[in-house]
Every structure is written in structure tokens, then in C-alpha cells.
Structure 1
């Protein structure tokens, strides 16, 4: 009886590998677009208020998303089983974006993304009381070490980063709760619905503020980059969704950290900035802690998978 099973397995495994390789390529492309988005926001902050940049990012993304996902092409895409949670999640993402765009005006790109890399640590810590996913002693130790890495980057009280670093920390907190809300919504709404609500809610929330912060872009280049922020952000999130359709999050998560490479390269190429040794050391600690958490998550799920195969 084992004869017929082996060919099926041998044909299935190459297809799985191919899907995962495509997913890894997509996730690497997504973080490249996110790095370009932060670079654009930092460059534009010399010409306009971050509030205007955030609005352009959400409005442009909303237009792009609604061209692909709308009630006519995807009937029922606006139907949600958790409207309040959708709204809260969208506002958390908006808050994270706003705080990050203000912080990146004063900080180096590598510094802001290094702090944001602490979000998986905070998610693992808060998932206990919120989702009942309590971390064990090894994971708690990794979380503690990771937060030490954030302190190494920010160096509070030691004349380290610009005070805007605290905005990155709060942005990281918002993003962590956004990730938890996204995880909860995955059980009720498809990702397309969640993506539509993110763009629409963010744009609507920003509309009342725009008259107070709007300044007319003075050159075609500024106009082009401002309008491009929405397309870059929307396309990056679309690649993210496609990647998670083809491979589990545990496979893709390590490649998200490749964003630090793009941020360092773009920070040096566009702004002539290169992170100092403290940032490198702190980022290494944070990334290592995140990867260890991912490893523990895989180890925890192996017995469950083996039991199902038996």
C-alpha cells in the first residue's frame, strides 16, 4: 500500500516548495516597497507636514485597492462580521503610520525599523491575556532580551537618539495591537475585506485634518512622490497578502527582517546616513530574539503536526 503513496508525495512536495519560494520572493518584494514608502515619507517631510503625507498614503492606497476590490468585482467584499474590530484595527494601523512618519522625519530609516522589529516581541507578550496564548519561560526570556535590544537602540537618558524615538516606540505598540486584531479578524473576515477597510477608514479619518495641514506641492517631483506613496504602500500590502496565501506565516516571518537591509541601503543612498554601532547592536539583539520566538513557535507546533500525521 505504500507504493501508490510515494509518487503522490513526491509530486506534492516540489509543488509546495515552488509555492513557498514564490511566497518568499513576494514577501521580500513587500518589505522592499515598505522601505521605499518610509524613504518617500522621510524625503517628503522636508516639503510638507507628515499629516499630509499620511493622507496621501491612505487615499492613494484606497484608490488602488478599490480598483481591484470593490462591491462590483467582488460582491460582498465590504461585508464584515466584526465591524467594530475592523474599525479599531484600521485606527491602530493609522496611528502606527502617523507616529512612524513623524518619527522618520527626525530619525534614520534603520533606527525606526529596528524599533518596529520589536512588535513580534510585544505581540507574544500581550497574546496571553488577549488570546490565551501564554508564552513559556524561554519565550519570556527572549522577549525580555529583545526589549533590552530596543533600549540599546534608543539609549534613553544617555543622549542617544532624538526624542522622536519615543514616537517609534508608541508606533510599535500600535502596530502590535493592530497585528493582534488582524489575527482575530482572520477567523471572521477574508483578508480582502480587511484590506479595503484599512484604506477607507484611514482616508475618512484623515479627511477632517487635511484643511489644516495641506500645503501645495511646488514641483512635479514632489507631486509624483506624494502620489506614489499610496501606490507603493497599497502594492506592498497586496504582495503581503499574496505571499500569505502561498505559505504559512512561520515560513515568511524571518524574511520580513530583510527590510533592515533595504532601510540601511536607502538611508545611505538617499540621505547619506549610516547607522552607528549602537543601532547595529540593538537591531541584532531584537532580530535574534524575534527569530528565537519564531523557532519556539515551530517547535511547539511540531508535535501537533506529527500527531496528525500518525
Structure 2
């Protein structure tokens, strides 16, 4: 699951074009869901998770180097926080592997809804790691959101697949990744550099096993899925960065939930999948909890 929740604010320009920012955000979200569709399609064709993930990371790395390298040069990789950047890269890689693995067995909408647990996990982790105070309203939203995810996972049901638990484990890794991202952003670290480092670390680590696990795709269609996965990840994150140049994060955050629309649409058109009533109900609860947290945070910032 490619979650566009980076704490990005890539320039010092004023956020004076909100509609343009929303447009970039909507496009970025749709493209990142299309990446998941390509990853699932490649996996269904027999391509291994490590191979799909490697193509995704290397494509992202090459695209960002081509776009930002000529302008930023060494500034793209020169950081005062190498340990934290490497840690972020490893954490996101673990999340990516969990997400792509779960896509082999679950519907896209199931992966999307379970992924909406992320802002709730981040809110919970912010207490011990960022020393933030979480009041009863936020704790209530976190608990209710978790109940919504449990309706999708249904751990006592025979329909529960082990990959759901793997995905939830990956989400907790992603929660720590987001905490580190917030810490770096508060210290003035460039968001573009942080996004580049996630691609660099994942690409380097995944390159090591490639000589042993690479399998040649069987036809041009599979090659197309892999090529698209490599390109779409970089484009999607680039559009999310552009969105934050034109509009504040508090305005853009609710549009992340348009993933639901794209996941249902692409899942149905590509795989013939439709969500069951438990997924719909759980998704509605999780989304409501997430939006409630966003509204509370926005009001807090205004005060």
C-alpha cells in the first residue's frame, strides 16, 4: 500500500492555490492506487514480491534523481541525519513488502481500508515518541477506528487471511516511519530529500537479492505491469509533493480517502472484486474516525 501521508512541504512558497493543490493530490492518490493495481497484477502473473518491490523502488529512485538531481545536485543526498533517514527507508521497505504480499491474497479495497489505520497508529505513537498529549477525544477515535479495521479483518472468522495480520504489522512499521518523518520535518529536513532517501535505501537493499530471485517475465503484459509499477510510484509521490506546494496539509489530508473510490473501481475493472458488507461498514467507521482526528487537529492548530 502506497500511502501518500508524507509530512511534506517542499517549498517556502505560500499556500495560495488550494484548488491546484487539491488537483495534484487527487491525481497523486489515483496514481498510487494504480501502482497497487499493477503490483497485484504482476503478482497474480507469478512475479515475486521482492522483484515487484525492486522495480517499484528503482523506478522511483531514477525518476526523482532525474527530476531533482540537476537542480539540487549533492543537496539531494547531503543530510545531517543519515541514521534517521536510513531507518525511515528500512521501515518503509518493510511496509512495502507487507503491502505487496497482502495484495497477492486480498482485494485492493481491503488493503486500502486496513491501511487507513495508519493515522490512528501515528496518533497513538505520538504520545511516547513525540511527547504529544492525546486527549480522550483522540483516544476514542483511535479505538473506534481500530474496531472498524477489526470488522474488515474479522480475526475470529474463517474468512480471515494471514496476510491481513502481515499487513497490520507493516502498518505499525509505517507508523514509526511517519514519526521519524515528522521529527525530520520539524528539524528542517527537506521533504524532497526524505522521499528520495526512502527510494534510495529500499532500492539498494532490494538490489542485493535480485541476482538470486529475479525471474524473467513471461510476456509483454507482465513487463508492462512491472514498468508501470516502477514509474507510477515516483510520479505519485512527486504529485503529492507538488500538492503541498500549493495547499496546506490540513486541507489536503481528507482527499487521501479518495483511495476508496479508486480501489473499488480498479479492483472491479481489473480483478472483478467487489467489497463485502463488512469491508464497507469497517471502511466507513475507519474513515469517519480519521476525518474526526483531522478536524480536531485543524481546530487545535487554529487555536
Distance of aligned partners of 1:132 and 1:17 in 2 relative to their CA distance in 1, 3 Å threshold: closer
Aligned to 2:271: 271
1:41 aligns with 2:36: no
Q: CA deviation at 1:18?
A: 6.0
Alpha-carbon separation, structure 2, partners of 1:153 and 1:101: 18
1:78 aligns with 2:77: yes
Alpha-carbon separation, structure 1, partners of 2:39 and 2:256: 20
Aligned to 1:295: 295
Q: Does the CA-based 8 Å contact 1:81-1:188 persist in structure 2?
A: no
Aligned to 1:156: 155
Q: CA deviation at 1:44?
A: 0.3
* Structure 2: 5+ residue stretches without partners: 1-13
SS at structure 2 position matched to 1:48: coil
Q: Does the CA-based 8 Å contact 1:52-1:213 persist in structure 2?
A: yes
SS at structure 2 position matched to 1:74: helix
* Structure 1: 5+ residue stretches without partners: 1-15, 304-310
1:194 aligns with 2:183: no
SS at structure 1 position matched to 2:104: helix
Q: CA deviation at 1:53?
A: 0.1
Is 157-166 or 123-132 further displaced after alignment?
157-166
1:94 aligns with 2:89: no
Q: Does the CA-based 8 Å contact 1:107-1:161 persist in structure 2?
A: no
Q: CA deviation at 1:166?
A: 0.7
Alpha-carbon separation, structure 2, partners of 1:56 and 1:63: 11
Is 94-103 or 156-165 further displaced after alignment?
156-165
Equivalences, count: 289
Deviations 1:23-56 (A, max 9, x none): 1111111110111011001100022111100000
Alpha-carbon separation, structure 2, partners of 1:83 and 1:44: 33
SS at structure 1 position matched to 2:162: coil
Deviations 1:29-88 (A, max 9, x none): 111011101100110002211110000000111111111122665342211111000000
Alignment of 1:153-232 (within 5 A): 153-186=152-185, 187-232=187-232
Deviations 1:123-145 (A, max 9, x none): 01110111111210111111110
1:251 aligns with 2:275: no
Large movers: runs of 4+ above 3 Å = 71-75
Q: Does the CA-based 8 Å contact 1:115-1:169 persist in structure 2?
A: yes
Alpha-carbon separation, structure 2, partners of 1:252 and 1:285: 20
SS at structure 1 position matched to 2:76: coil
Q: CA deviation at 1:182?
A: 1.1
Alpha-carbon separation, structure 2, partners of 1:212 and 1:102: 19
Aligned to 2:143: 144
Is 191-200 or 93-102 further displaced after alignment?
191-200
Aligned to 2:25: 27
Q: CA deviation at 1:302?
A: 2.0
Is 221-230 or 84-93 further displaced after alignment?
221-230
Q: Does the CA-based 8 Å contact 2:15-2:248 persist in structure 1?
A: no
Alpha-carbon separation, structure 2, partners of 1:87 and 1:288: 34
Aligned to 1:13: none
Deviations 1:236-268 (A, max 9, x none): 000111111222211111000000100000010
Q: Does the CA-based 8 Å contact 2:40-2:103 persist in structure 1?
A: yes
Alpha-carbon separation, structure 2, partners of 1:17 and 1:98: 35
